[in-house]
Structure 1
């Protein structure tokens, strides 16, 4: 199973390569020997590793002889050495070494010496000594499990020592071949005792390595679903992973004949009882406990243990305390087609009967699985329903949905029981689908439920439909459904309270904070008359807190949101806890602009909701918030890791939109046009009926991407569409959109290819005035962020309205520095330098600004911005200092802030200055948190950022800088 294709990279083996190189060359003294035997299952990459290490040793000056053993026993003695010598003779034709090689080949061609095998071994050792010519000699042997007796004796002889010959042996052995009394097994056991001999077991790749290898075969288009499939089916075996990846690349859905035949051959090589055991485990639900396997296979205990031992030794089974597993799930796929249907039903019936009769607690999911495949739907249905209820209690919503779906199939089958309430099954299946992120499936099941006469009341059905629509990203129809419930006189007070609370939450998500506050107050009034409305109180309180904090009093609103989180944790309902965390993290990273603390809350909330089974829905949205926060403070590399981890959940609907937008921001910043385009197209597809919360950021990103592409008309159209469709109270989102619109006009003017659209500029100026007026009544923190964007807008206008004003750009850079947003700060410096150079004023200042902007852009990995800075520097004849080549392009490290003017604290945010002042007083993180009313963990984040910016390692050093720079 060794792959002959070297197009894929050697993945996940850097440690082994370094280990083998050191053991075979660096640690071997003159006149000594060393050996490394690499063992592992077929296809794990032993041959490729030997080839890689051999090439590396040649580069280091070693003479490497490479040969392979043949699966023909002792019929070809010393074949691997002869093969290695012939290869060396061909490669060294005409060199002095070649005559020594030919001499050895002639010796082998002659008859066996009369003085026995010992004389032959002695002659071989002398010949190798001549060939080496004082160089280190490495003998590389593949497939050593087939080694002939003479070569085996030669290895033992060579490893016993050859005087002043520096010899190393590197050999690969298939672990599953060393069974029973295999002679090499005894040799390896003896050799392990020698200090100069190492036996390295080459393990399969981990998940990351498998995905990297698959991506190298398929290309960057490898989807998360395909990566998951390759990992699950291959078990990390490189050869299998490459074959599966090629199937994905070539569009083949089934299992390739190559893999099928390979695994069938391995199974067929097993003893009879081991063959039976592997078939049984393949039909079971892993891990299969020993007692359960015994009842299914029905072998005497000693014979069963011997059969299992053989299957484990052949690397088909893995044994552990909890039971037996197949090493590769592909074995189950292969064997599924090898049994007759009647044979499969017998195995599943045995499993079901054994589980039913067991004294231990039943595992309902396994029981339902086996009764169903045994052809007993009436016995499988109760088990499936019990398994679904068990999964829901444990917050396993994906598993619950799978079990409810199975229950529906069983109930609808021709042989299914007729006394089951189908409406109940549909209701449970729809809700579990919603909880696990299958929003389209939830809506389809809900439609089916509405068609059932015995379904729930219409108001309850409307509320469910609205929830599912909102989760699917269809905000407008969801809002309509909630309003219909509130206007329906037949709905109960409890239903109206629920609709009002969910509508308030939806309006927050749509950026309509004033409406959200009104609906939240109505919901809380309704909840006062409804017992047991804790969930509604949590959602309404979180929405009200967000609305108040954004529009009126941030401190009061933040208090309400924190109290909502406390109430949610006390209630223990997963949805309530997730909702409270979501609003709190979103407000901290957004309007309140306490980004570091917001990121901490978002990640902590993501961990919490993952424990509650909401990984595919709320966890992904919280991680999207964390990604956006990390992007804004310039930690792009960390943001990449977070968004990649979240995408493994394969979210859908609004959850997917949040994550795709977050990833798209990174792609636009990096200049990855294709990736950004794909994400924006995906978002546009999902956003049927979406609200301003998603549409405006999507259009803003579309405009930003179009500008880097030089498509200023496309950018203009995106912004104008956003101004037309906007119904959001979120002046921050609107301000970002308007900046992109004015920037598009400025870029068009600078390019001299597209005329400035004065009508569009007039609309943008009017939008600026509206934003300024509306933000005047918002909280101080919101006004601060809006003012930063308005500063950018004013500076952009100057680019096409009388000449770019360097003072306006300087104010913008200072504002963004103050809030620790490196990307817009670097962009502002670029424009300030451009304006100065155009006016031929202060060239030294312009040069400094370009260097600072260049450093920030390089540290971020912002390729388009870096390119524009370099173009301007070239035109202005400014020399830019290149970054340390050892630094990663996407390190995410924030550059030093702009010119500090002698103030070492200039790069700190206002919150960081407060923290540093408390540090200088000698307060602990806990004491600082109590003083500033934020968590101890967040204080730790602030302190770390302070240390990075001040380039210090201790609190004493940081305090000294503060005391030196504090105002008198």
Structure 2
């Protein structure tokens, strides 16, 4: 239309910014090497962000990159979900139609939420992982699209970004790992005040090493002179340079405006007020053009030409003339695609909009709304409903605005833009009381909500209530990650329900509140569940009643395991069947299956969950199918069927990965890591745990992954890593974690770390606390490893001076606790035998028969690490009895296992025992044994004779002062010796050094298993 009109207020010379442009072009070079680049460009309004970006895009174009630009739309509180991404992807779709189609293949329906050109947006069920799934699909699509070509994505005006856009940008910056992709985002720094929603995102991105941030400063005087010379095509007068520099303060846009103001012949001269400066060139335009500019200012960031023609009320010739004047004055610009117009700078649009009278603004917005309702083709379909809601709202017409805003909330929900949906619902609640009663009564829940707190009414015929909006807003806030806001909404709803006898609605809100309280770590959620149960008690069966029962049973299964939970879950199944709520029924059946398995009916419980997997897969309920896989794999591991658990976990991970259910994938991978650990496939277990940390969105699966990595590190002898991962697990779980399935493993790890560091008092304190806490029904899988760790620590500490006091009490606590723990399947029976033998060893009462019984129980199990440890103890007992040949066979078997799975700690213990007994661990060792020199075990650790004496005293519990007195040295010298010993042993403290010396029997009396007690341990 008018895109070719020339302007003279912009300098054709690119001034300054050479360093910044170099950083951007370097990003292009890096991206060409398949290293995705993320750039942020910030600066105050008018400082030159757009010009720098344009120069960069010219360079990208010269290098053959595919360029797509999208801008955030300032359209009011409700925003336009994913606006910059939709615009940029639409450009890519136009430039690379076949390539983009291939990159999106198989996921077109989900990706249509961001790029509607890919197809219709599905109306399937929503869940808390919907947004994360969409983000993951978008990231993978961009990676595939940029696999063979450099793609530059520019997102402008991030300070106007909707919440969904900010979250997607953050996700991309954190997860993009491959592809020739450059993402550049610009924002107005002076608008990002302390409470601006962009501020937390910028702080988060600053911590990412992969994100580079450019902050543009104002021009200095020399740069302003160069800019003026470019604009004027001549060297400016120095007085004029001084005047412009002083008034603009180096802001590039203000320089242009001051020059244009002077050249426009404004007789009032240069104004002091910034607002007046921005309006001065508008005010010298013809009246008709000024009116048109005011109309454009209220239309949004960009106004389509057909829409503008419908609203302006001018003939086409008059409209063209008015536009020509506005474009010629450099006030408006034609959009790159030629479809509409926008202000050359957003500051001018803001100034024009602010200058409108209140009644004038409402009238213009009404005309926009009426034009769009008369002709729906004036704007893109995906934008129409959102913009219509904004226009009616600013037209101050509640009767029209309320249904428009509600319709926009539905559109936002379908795009998984839950934060925007929440803002729209809040706006609808603000409009509620102002809207005429007949308008409210014409609204139906079925048209505007996905959440129907059942109240005995048909949502398709009953009028929409304020409580329906609160229910929808609660779920939108939860799905959007705004749990605090959701909690406040439930409080408002429950206050309204105090005078309204609607127990089903109240029960629904209490159930939601239970989820939120638990999710925020402000309690375990039981108080809220109990209130919901009281409300539905005695009422006829309903979906709400069934859901309350499921929630109560699931809570009990995780927090207070017991037989009552199974009865509640079975009743939930019955109620759900009565009302035809199959999804609720299937969810309840998963809980039933898990509870049956915990109660001893392992096969029955597994069969129930397998049936749910089959049915949910058939119905396409992937979220429930994922939950069934999570519980199935967990129960298989509890029954000792680790190989089956891994096979099923692989299937489940593939299922949920296809649907991008990230938290579900995290849980399945976490369970897989546990079973792989049991099977001795430790490298695979670590990989599965790291995958859990990568994809997990919630704290609990990430906590489980860190705990699993701590188990691995502890078994391998990597104490520092075990301590780090244990601390990470505690951080993920938070301070309000009460689930036994999480608390007991953390206690077991704490015991393991304390034992490795020689802190036997801490081992006993943690064991006593665990025993006092108890081991509820179904928790035997976590209880036996804890008891075994504590019993082993007591046995290893026998002989340490610090361990003697309190030993009898500690062993009594362990024996009492062991009697209370079930042994429903062979793997836990074997653990019980192992614990019994270790308790006897702690009292020096263990016999060859005891360890033979343990080996017999463990041998049939597919638990290589457990078997190798038992073989170590049995070999020790055989050597004490003089049976060298069978001991040698067991040592070689255990050593091969330790090498294969990567347990350095166990490997060194076995090597030490073999050397002391003069037994070969391999054929090569066997050839060298007869002539093997006798090696001092302390010297083998690299310690000097003086350090040997100091270590002996450290192992006896002596302080530095006591060591100094004993060896006739100064305390400072003793401290230096201790530090050197800790470094050579690779330990972090005196207690750990003492425990190591004791475990290796460096200073013990000669062992009956070998005539050569001084035989060396090869090292740590």
Smaller-chain TM-score bracket: 0.5 to 0.7
In structure 2, do the counterparts of structure 1 residues 699 and 362 end up closer, same or farther at CA, with 3 Å as the change threshold? same
- SS in structure 1 of the partner of residue 820 of structure 2: helix
**Partner residue, 2:470:** 426
**Partner residue, 1:386:** 407
Shift of 1:451: 0.3
> How far apart are the structure 2 equivalents of 1:564 and 1:598?
14
In structure 2, do the counterparts of structure 1 residues 565 and 846 end up closer, same or farther at CA, with 3 Å as the change threshold? closer
**Partner residue, 1:258:** 215
Once the two structures are superposed, the pairs formed by residues 614-625 of structure 1 within 5 Å of their partners are 618=664, 620-625=666-671
In structure 2, do the counterparts of structure 1 residues 626 and 294 end up closer, same or farther at CA, with 3 Å as the change threshold? farther
> How far apart are the structure 1 equivalents of 2:306 and 2:881?
86
For 1:714, which of 745, 753, 762 is the aligned residue?
762
> How far apart are the structure 2 equivalents of 1:181 and 1:401?
39
Q: Deviations over 1:857-903 (max 9, x none)?
A: 2xxxxxxx535744775797699xxxxxxxxxxxxxxxxxx99xxxx
For 2:685, which of 615, 620, 636 is the aligned residue?
636
**Partner residue, 1:514:** 563
> How far apart are the structure 1 equivalents of 2:772 and 2:609?
32
Contact kept in structure 2, 1:423 and 1:449, CA below 8 Å: yes
Shift of 1:745: 2.9
**Partner residue, 1:451:** 495
Once the two structures are superposed, the pairs formed by residues 781-800 of structure 1 within 5 Å of their partners are 783-784=826-827, 786-800=828-842
Shift of 1:702: 3.4
1:743 matched to 2:792: yes
Shift of 1:665: 2.0
Once the two structures are superposed, the pairs formed by residues 201-212 of structure 1 within 5 Å of their partners are none
For 2:844, which of 789, 793, 802 is the aligned residue?
802
For 2:812, which of 749, 762, 778 is the aligned residue?
762
> How far apart are the structure 2 equivalents of 1:41 and 1:764?
56
- SS in structure 2 of the partner of residue 429 of structure 1: helix
In structure 2, do the counterparts of structure 1 residues 552 and 677 end up closer, same or farther at CA, with 3 Å as the change threshold? closer
> How far apart are the structure 1 equivalents of 2:801 and 2:153?
54
**Partner residue, 1:596:** 646
**Partner residue, 2:783:** 734
In the alignment, structure 2 segments of 5+ residues that lack a partner are 1-16, 42-51, 64-147, 155-166, 188-198, 220-249, 261-281, 283-294, 328-334, 441-464, 714-719, 923-1020
Q: Deviations over 1:109-149 (max 9, x none)?
A: xxxxxxxxxxxxxxxxxxxxxxxxxxxxxxxxxxxxx9xxx
**Partner residue, 2:387:** 367
Q: Deviations over 1:599-657 (max 9, x none)?
A: 1243145347647xxx5x6555445434544554531343144213323x3x2xxxx22
1:562 matched to 2:610: yes
Once the two structures are superposed, the pairs formed by residues 681-700 of structure 1 within 5 Å of their partners are 681-687=731-737, 690-700=738-748
Contact kept in structure 1, 2:40 and 2:186, CA below 8 Å: yes
For 1:406, which of 420, 424, 443 is the aligned residue?
424
> How far apart are the structure 1 equivalents of 2:255 and 2:149?
25
Contact kept in structure 1, 2:636 and 2:645, CA below 8 Å: yes
Aligned length: 654
**Partner residue, 2:904:** 866
**Partner residue, 1:669:** 712
**Partner residue, 2:632:** 584
Contact kept in structure 2, 1:813 and 1:824, CA below 8 Å: no
> How far apart are the structure 1 equivalents of 2:538 and 2:853?
58
**Partner residue, 1:57:** none
Contact kept in structure 1, 2:576 and 2:584, CA below 8 Å: yes
> How far apart are the structure 2 equivalents of 1:669 and 1:873?
21
In structure 2, do the counterparts of structure 1 residues 754 and 538 end up closer, same or farther at CA, with 3 Å as the change threshold? same
Q: Quick check: 440-449 or 801-810, which moved more?
A: 801-810
> How far apart are the structure 1 equivalents of 2:296 and 2:653?
39
Q: Deviations over 1:8-33 (max 9, x none)?
A: xx9998996799xxxxxxxxxxxxxx
- SS in structure 1 of the partner of residue 777 of structure 2: coil
Shift of 1:491: 3.0
In structure 2, do the counterparts of structure 1 residues 180 and 488 end up closer, same or farther at CA, with 3 Å as the change threshold? closer
> How far apart are the structure 1 equivalents of 2:743 and 2:605?
26
In structure 2, do the counterparts of structure 1 residues 603 and 2 end up closer, same or farther at CA, with 3 Å as the change threshold? farther
1:539 matched to 2:587: yes
In the alignment, structure 1 segments of 5+ residues that lack a partner are 20-38, 45-145, 147-172, 183-199, 207-223, 308-316, 326-330, 858-864, 880-897, 900-968
In structure 2, do the counterparts of structure 1 residues 790 and 556 end up closer, same or farther at CA, with 3 Å as the change threshold? same
> How far apart are the structure 2 equivalents of 1:414 and 1:588?
53
After TM superposition, the score normalised by the length of structure 1 is 0.52
> How far apart are the structure 2 equivalents of 1:324 and 1:756?
85
Q: Deviations over 1:694-725 (max 9, x none)?
A: 33233333333444454443343333323222
Q: Deviations over 1:783-823 (max 9, x none)?
A: 43x23433442453354231777887787788778655555
Q: Deviations over 1:466-525 (max 9, x none)?
A: 454256267864277348626865533335444333333333334725333222333345
In structure 2, do the counterparts of structure 1 residues 289 and 600 end up closer, same or farther at CA, with 3 Å as the change threshold? farther
Once the two structures are superposed, the pairs formed by residues 13-412 of structure 1 within 5 Å of their partners are 176-177=57-58, 228=171, 236=183, 258-259=215-216, 357-359=375-377, 361=381, 363=383, 366-367=386-387, 370-371=390-391, 378=398, 381-390=402-411, 394=414, 399-400=417-418, 402-412=420-430
> How far apart are the structure 2 equivalents of 1:282 and 1:792?
79
- SS in structure 1 of the partner of residue 496 of structure 2: coil
> How far apart are the structure 2 equivalents of 1:751 and 1:765?
21
**Partner residue, 1:963:** none
> How far apart are the structure 2 equivalents of 1:749 and 1:582?
41
**Partner residue, 1:678:** 728
> How far apart are the structure 1 equivalents of 2:589 and 2:820?
29
> How far apart are the structure 1 equivalents of 2:686 and 2:350?
46
In structure 2, do the counterparts of structure 1 residues 16 and 628 end up closer, same or farther at CA, with 3 Å as the change threshold? same
Contact kept in structure 1, 2:622 and 2:659, CA below 8 Å: yes
Once the two structures are superposed, the pairs formed by residues 802-841 of structure 1 within 5 Å of their partners are 802=844, 820-821=862-863, 824=866
For 1:462, which of 507, 515, 520 is the aligned residue?
507
> How far apart are the structure 1 equivalents of 2:677 and 2:253?
50
Q: Quick check: 787-796 or 817-826, which moved more?
A: 817-826
In structure 2, do the counterparts of structure 1 residues 411 and 178 end up closer, same or farther at CA, with 3 Å as the change threshold? same
In structure 2, do the counterparts of structure 1 residues 496 and 848 end up closer, same or farther at CA, with 3 Å as the change threshold? closer
> How far apart are the structure 1 equivalents of 2:625 and 2:615?
9
Contact kept in structure 1, 2:865 and 2:897, CA below 8 Å: no
Contact kept in structure 2, 1:502 and 1:539, CA below 8 Å: no
Contact kept in structure 2, 1:833 and 1:846, CA below 8 Å: yes
> How far apart are the structure 2 equivalents of 1:756 and 1:322?
86
In structure 2, do the counterparts of structure 1 residues 534 and 845 end up closer, same or farther at CA, with 3 Å as the change threshold? closer
Shift of 1:445: 2.0
> How far apart are the structure 1 equivalents of 2:868 and 2:668?
28
> How far apart are the structure 2 equivalents of 1:205 and 1:799?
67
In structure 2, do the counterparts of structure 1 residues 685 and 540 end up closer, same or farther at CA, with 3 Å as the change threshold? same
> How far apart are the structure 2 equivalents of 1:324 and 1:812?
82
> How far apart are the structure 2 equivalents of 1:292 and 1:480?
51
The CA RMSD measured in Å over matched residues stands at 6.6
**Partner residue, 2:1004:** none
Contact kept in structure 2, 1:719 and 1:740, CA below 8 Å: no
